Amino acid sequence: MLVETFDVRFYETDALKHVSNTVLVGWFEAARFPIFKLFTPELDLDNWPLILANYHVDFLQQIYMAPAVSVKTGIQKIGNSSFVVYQELWQDENLKAKGTTTLVHFDYQSQRSAKIPDDIKAQLAAFSL
């Protein structure tokens, strides 16, 4: 699995002294950058080849200001034109949240999904769970 670590910033906390639920989706997205780079190494937004079909997050425990959090990312399923990313958020050696995101390889000119190239499928498979 890929691992990214994030420091919890003060403004990400709420009046109850824990991290706001909206922050996790951002951390999960940022932790998917290595996956995005398989499709567009320069992260070229003018030629972005992916769209988000859905995401689901299970909040398991409260997350606090400290210590830092780690997001573990792997590939759960690879289809013809889409794939599912599985992610876990850990803090202080405790699993705090987990989620999945379905991404679709997309051709903006035809406005249709596109087959994931075999070489990229092979690279995705290297992160399979």
pLDDT grade, residue 66 (50/70/90)? confident
pLDDT grade, residue 105 (50/70/90)? very high
Q: How many domains does the chain have?
A: 1
The whole-number average pLDDT for the span 6-22 is 90
How far is 37 from 58, CA to CA, in rounded Å? 26
Asked if residues 56 and 99 have their Cβ atoms less than 8 Å apart, the reply is yes
Q: What residues make up the domain containing 61?
A: 2-125
pTM for the predicted model, two decimal places: 0.94
How far is 129 from 62, CA to CA, in rounded Å? 26
CATH of the domain at 100: 3.10.129.10
pLDDT per position as a tens digit, 72-93: 999 999 999 999 999 999 999 9
H/E stretch holding 124 reads: helix 118-125
How far is 118 from 40, CA to CA, in rounded Å? 15
Burial zone of 102 (CB within 10 Å; 0-12 exposed, 13-18 middle, 19+ buried) = middle
